[in-house]
Structure 1
Amino acid sequence: MTSPTENGDASQNSDTSSGDERTVLEERKLTGMRRTIANRLQESSQEAAHVTASREVDAEELVRAAEVASDKYDVDVSVVDIVLCALSETLADHPAFNATLEDGLHRLYETQNVGIAVDIDAGLVTPVLTALESKSLDQVAIERRELTESVQTGSYSMSDLRGGTFTITNLGVLGIDSFTPIINPPEVAILGVNRIRDRARPGDEGVDFRKQIQFDLSFDHRVVDGADAARFLETLATHIENAEALL
């Protein structure tokens, strides 16, 4: 039989060996852009009352519209460009989301300055596509690409990152089906775009496989409610499912 003293020694040795043997691979201090991003995300998390609503939408016409538009305009039009045009129509119908909240003032805007999240080595940067409501689909495609390239090459200025009224972030290109976007303060909402995938749906002769996409809308519950978000996503779904009307 082991004595109590021996038991205690064995326990102490076991704790020491299991708890302290950690080999540090690398230490990274948060500086520059990464620290700014961390501070803003912490600010958003602490101040906004985050809620996320999700909706799955038929994407057959969305994909088809991107293909038709590329031929029509002789410009490489992506699915995200079509989504941006659908978003513009949706924000026009639901202006409470095209807004900021500062010092207790919920300020709604006519101009749609939509931030587009771009992932680079230094962190997440959100250049702003200004006056989205005034742009045609081919203009959206060209300007979005120019903004993205300017960020990726480091040729952007701080003015390109200011004045946003809403943000869109796309993790679908990385194979994500759903996530919870974090609001970019002082904005009150952000739309997450996920990957397009084939899903089984009831058809006329059994089961059909159709392309589907999920949208995740995070919003500040201090100024807009869940029912408002549901109506927003309903309007967005209508435009996405009738995407060729946006051409």
Structure 2
Amino acid sequence: MSDDADGPAERTVARERSLRPMRRTIASRLQESYREAVHVTVSREVAAGALLAAADAGGESVDPSVTDVLLCALSDALTEHPSFNATFEDGTHRVYEEHNVGVAVTIDQGLVTPVLEDVGAKSLAGIARERRRLTERMQAGEYSMRTFEGGTFTVSNLGPLGVDSFTPIINPPEVAILGVNRIHEEVVPDGDGGVAVETRLTLDLSFDHRVVDGADAARFLGTLARYIDEAETYVT
């Protein structure tokens, strides 16, 4: 311990490392996002019973996850609110026809977002197959930079890690990103003076306030909640 009471506290380095190229790229893009975009996050809790039922009803041949069903609902919501299916670069807000959704995947080097192309043109089975294939490629290290290009929106799901809420960071130059949290049971009023147990899910939407407003984000989440509540329609 130092004899100088006014001196800095001593600290001993346990270990140090330089960032790997992939991690440096991730760090650079996150810094770019916070430097350029005006981040605002709004949250909404939704009923998740239909979402789980649709995933279970997919059958062994399809075996969709909750994320796959959610992507179907998301695509329909983006159709109604196209301003979120967009990028903002050089002062220009570009809205796209295709819903090219980046789906965050954790690998050893960090969090990456391979792009699932044209989600709106795919069935639930097609989304499940393609998302699984992309995830396996990421985990095997079989990807190129093209795998991450052309996105129009991003989804990050921390629900499997038990997270209740978080603030997802926009993937530049996109306009918005949806954070998905854990599915949990909650006691709610049953409408007859009693209570019932309902399966719930919290969604966190971060958006660039330069391009869209809070009211727009609230309406987007309202539409997404409606499609999630009708999720069984995606099972054919």
Please say whether Structure 1 and Structure 2 have the same fold, judged by a TM-score greater than 0.5.
yes
SS at match of 2:5: helix
2:35 to 30, 46, 50: 46
Deviations 1:169-215 (A, max 9, x none): 00001000100000000000000000000011012462211110010
The whole-number CA distance in structure 2 between the counterparts of 1:20 and 1:40 is 34
Between structures 1 and 2, the one with greater helix share: 1
Q: Which residue identity lines up with residue 56 of structure 1 in the other structure?
A: E
Aligned match of 1:80: 67
1:139 to 123, 126, 132: 126
The whole-number CA distance in structure 2 between the counterparts of 1:198 and 1:122 is 34
Does residue 172 of the first structure (1) align with residue 159 of the second (2)? yes
The whole-number CA distance in structure 2 between the counterparts of 1:242 and 1:131 is 21
Measured after TM superposition, the shift of residue 62 of structure 1 is 0.8
Unaligned stretches of 5+ residues in structure 1 = 1-10
Q: Percent of aligned pairs with the same residue? A: 62
Does residue 92 of the first structure (1) align with residue 90 of the second (2)? no
Does residue 209 of the first structure (1) align with residue 197 of the second (2)? yes
2:49 to 60, 67, 85: 60
Aligned match of 1:197: 184
Measured after TM superposition, the shift of residue 12 of structure 1 is 5.7
Q: Which runs of 4+ in 1 moved over 2 A?
A: 11-16
Measured after TM superposition, the shift of residue 217 of structure 1 is 0.4
Aligned match of 1:234: 222
Does residue 153 of the first structure (1) align with residue 135 of the second (2)? no
Does residue 14 of the first structure (1) align with residue 9 of the second (2)? no
The whole-number CA distance in structure 2 between the counterparts of 1:144 and 1:46 is 31
The whole-number CA distance in structure 2 between the counterparts of 1:185 and 1:24 is 34
Q: Which residue identity lines up with residue 38 of structure 2 in the other structure?
A: A
Q: Which residue identity lines up with residue 13 of structure 2 in the other structure?
A: V
Query: Does the Cα contact within 8 Å between 2:176 and 2:205 map onto a contact in 1?
Result: yes
Q: Which residue identity lines up with residue 170 of structure 1 in the other structure?
A: N
What TM-score does the superposition give when structure 1 sets the normalisation length? 0.91
Measured after TM superposition, the shift of residue 156 of structure 1 is 1.4
Q: CA RMSD in A?
A: 1.3
What TM-score does the superposition give when structure 2 sets the normalisation length? 0.95
Query: Does the Cα contact within 8 Å between 2:20 and 2:109 map onto a contact in 1?
Result: no
Unaligned stretches of 5+ residues in structure 2 = none
The whole-number CA distance in structure 1 between the counterparts of 2:199 and 2:138 is 31
Aligned match of 1:185: 172
| Structure of larger gyration radius | 1
Measured after TM superposition, the shift of residue 31 of structure 1 is 3.5
SS at match of 2:18: coil
The whole-number CA distance in structure 2 between the counterparts of 1:48 and 1:190 is 12
Q: Which residue identity lines up with residue 14 of structure 1 in the other structure?
A: A
Does residue 114 of the first structure (1) align with residue 101 of the second (2)? yes
The whole-number CA distance in structure 2 between the counterparts of 1:225 and 1:211 is 29
Q: Which residue identity lines up with residue 29 of structure 1 in the other structure?
A: S
Query: Does the Cα contact within 8 Å between 2:43 and 2:204 map onto a contact in 1?
Result: yes
Q: Which residue identity lines up with residue 70 of structure 2 in the other structure?
A: V
